[in-house]
Structure 1
């Protein structure tokens, strides 16, 4: 007997009438078990998510476009399953993609109307890997335009193509960026998983603000070929999901070497290929974890961190207090380094896209002429990029060397001094009200910098709430320690199952 599909926990009366599947709590292993037993098909699952995009997303504006071939992709997955030729644990699972990831036949805009001229001809490497794994590509998600690298006063979640993405927990609050639509879409059960990208905070902050899991991988585990860039020194794609196990499964499919992305040649030959198999319920027992509290900034965050520390200790971990050194120094060097890298990397990407401006100067002029692009905020970063030193300049080389080395020392020295397996810190403060003209006022707290600038892994997981607004906690560690932080995050998630689905409140 097939099962009915719901977006949240069904009522007792409905449960008595027929078995139901709660999309919000469903995991990929659970879905695969149902499909293997013939109680669910990929077509049914994909249809359920498409229905939610049509009905729920009108309040959130997370999805820019739906792939018209989604149901045929799902039908192909069902045929493979019937003949015993499934491609792995993502086969038949609906996935949304951030709209800075090239997807053949679908517009890929990075949120900018300047890139609406023509869809890319081929898939980004990560999309090819998802398709090879049997995933169903549902569509593209909104983002902070140009991955939040156009204006010093940008509002997260806004783009000229998609307008404003809202936080599904409280609709007038911000989803954070730049992977805004991916985080909000997964929180609202518009897909089982989504792919985001991060340069500094753009996966983990939307995960925290929207109450989902986000994995920013070690730099070099996931190819960036076919992704609109900010910086090859920090950019990476990664999974966002409602459950750590789903992020781990998706990460196992995303990662892999790519001859067009030299960074992917660097990861160790013994790097795990199946992260889900390494998730251990007892991973906290015996672990040594440093807590970077960032206390005193927000009382709700302090309360959630205190509860999280108690959870870690109850699970058998030793928790020690730490601070992260060199933050001001590497932060000061990061910003000018990113600007120089942007001037190198974005034009190289634009050169591969037909019918679009080929230079940052061309984008600046397009925006000046467009009736929408500058309607909410400016393009100060684009304009600064026209005058910064190139990446062959000694000033740039000093900025990048300082940023990367001090960020790595911040984590490496802290972990070595206390013999740690990982460090935890609050991912975010409560989501702020969305406004325009003054940037993200209310964005007061984050912990993404050390892992982002160093190229080390970072996993955000739901930890609690400030009223209706989610607060996450982040686990980060040394380079290539993705399996460690995923396993610790999964064990914490099991010990602290606080996440609940959003209620789409208009305000609080």
Structure 2
């Protein structure tokens, strides 16, 4: 029986491994070939790990030896499916997640080429111990979209511009773009992205994949190039909710190098998140429908299919037993979603300078040692870094900040008040989650470190260029909740996904032509 690589899930891959109809080496080679063929078109991958095949060969030797299912595993005898779900599975990492190997970690910037990290990022250490194969580094918006307010989404000096695989001129999302596109285009099984505000949710929504933005602190940020540790989080990207959850189960947990993980560990269920992959997960859930908050956006776009798609999504939620509450008002909503009004931009500018400088100080070797150095480097290499086109105003504004600052203190206080208002809204209405169209609502959960999951919800078939995917480009749906509510969100997202099964692989434009 020939194994179907495209759209293969972790469970299907592990079954094929068990039946000896597939090896990790064959899987890695398939993805390497796919990257070689399609990456020149969609630019989703910056670099492939030159040791990936050797690592996959090591996985085969380990299986044949019938020793423990992976290094450092505490299981008594192999195979142990739950703890070994990622064994032999290729994973791409956003290029701001450090690896202590032949892959550089640069956040897409030429300024960090040649830098040497002290160790693997905390989440990478967990992936390796689980037997996952680090396939390479994914493209992104340079510096995770922290450099300027006019940056081209998905562009970096090292990787070029990541393209939506469904439609050449379609929006590709920002920041974790390559992580989402690589999974959507079947260049890898799963990937990791990072989110500060929108950075997992948005690219997953517009590229037809599942993204989990965990509670801040649920996953370690040690070894991750930061924007602001107050909001930064690392999360999985996959083609199915179950695959994303399998990755989440591996990467969550305490890391002494990221102290916030100690507090967040209280949210992690003893038996992992896989137990919440229940088909009837929507039954009885109370969900706030935030459509009315976003309706004005679509009133100005009368041809948009989003209103009808979202109303059909709500119908599905209700049919599967959810109690969907309309017209509940999130306090100060219009201010929260406007970073220049909420205080988010002010706080961010102070924190990016502080947190980036701390990251640079821990590098063993680096051409740059401060945000000021990066700004100077970009000026000296203006052509390569496309400084005239995209600028670096956010970096320059951040460099001009000073801590402590009354402006920063006031911004943080404003944000904390908005977060308290949102949490009160959720608790007073006894809500399990809220639901919003596309990636709308991501900022609400970003400023307070709350979790969210996006799932494919439909396609926009308008204005499809000749040779593009006839489905159009994807539209997602967002479920968000309070800190530690991942288990509820997983139940909701999985039940919705299984009821709709909207995800379809792209026909990459040049392939269609």
| TM-score (structure 2 length as normaliser) | 0.89
Structure 2 counterpart of 1:498: 502
Tell me the CA shift for residue 372 of structure 1.
Answer: 1.2
Match of 1:427 in 2: 438
Which residue of 2 is the match for residue 380 of structure 1? 393
Could you tell me which of 37, 51, 61 is aligned with 2:19? Answer: 37
1:54 is the counterpart of 2:58: no
Q: How does 1:50-449 map to 2 (within 5 A)?
A: 50-82=32-64, 83-87=66-70, 88-105=84-101, 106-269=103-266, 271-273=268-270, 274-293=272-291, 294-298=294-298, 299-321=304-326, 322-330=328-336, 331=339, 332-353=342-363, 354-370=365-381, 371-373=383-385, 374-390=387-403, 392-410=404-422, 412-428=423-439, 446-449=440-443
CA distance in 1, matches of 2:95, 2:502: 30
2-side partners of 1:270 and 1:310: how far apart? 31
Q: Give the match for residue 442 of structure 1.
A: none
1:39-89 deviation line (CA, Å, top 9, x unaligned): 211111111111111111121000000001111111222222231522411
Q: Residues 406 and 121 of structure 1: is their aligned pair in 2 closer, same or farther, counting only changes over 3 Å? A: same
Runs of at least 5 residues in structure 2 that lack an aligned partner in the other structure: 71-83, 299-303, 462-471
Residues in 2 aligned to 1:154 and 1:139: alpha-carbon distance in whole angstroms: 24
Alpha-carbon offset, residue 324 of structure 1:
2.4
Q: SS where residue 308 of structure 1 aligns?
A: helix
Q: Is the 8 A contact 2:253 2:265 kept in 1?
A: no
Contact 1:327 1:407 in 2 (8 A): no
Counterpart Cα distance in 2 of 1:51 and 1:147: 27
Instruction: Tell me, yes or no, if the aligned pair for 2:126 and 2:250 is still in contact at 8 Å.
Output: yes
In 2, distance between residues paired with 1:408 and 1:490?
A: 28
Residue 455 of structure 1 aligns with which residue? 449
Q: Secondary structure at the match of 2:509?
A: coil
Deviation, 1:262, is 1.2
Kindly state the Cα deviation for residue 375 of structure 1 after the two structures are TM-superposed: 4.7
| Cα shift readout 1:137-165 (whole Å, capped 9, x = no counterpart) | 00001100011011111111001111100
Q: Any conservation in 1 of the 2:42–2:162 contact (CA below 8 Å)?
A: yes
For the aligned residue pairs, the C-alpha RMSD in angstroms reads: 1.7
Following superposition, the deviation at residue 121 of structure 1 comes to 4.2
CA shift for structure 1 position 405: 3.5
Deviates more, 1:29-38 or 1:191-200: 29-38
CA distance in 1 between counterparts of 2:223 and 2:379 reads 27
Structure 1 unaligned regions, length at least 5: 5-19, 429-445
Q: Conserved in 2, the CA contact under 8 Å of 1:326 and 1:407?
A: no
Q: Identify the residue that residue 436 of structure 1 maps to in structure 2.
A: none
Change in 2 beyond 3 A, CA 1:22/1:268: closer
Q: Which residue of 480, 485, 500 corresponds with 1:481?
A: 485
1:21 aligns with 2:4: yes
Tell me how far apart the structure 2 counterparts of residues 317 and 214 of structure 1 sit (CA, whole Å): 22
| Matches of 2:443 and 2:434, distance apart in 1 | 13
Secondary structure of 1:65's counterpart equals strand
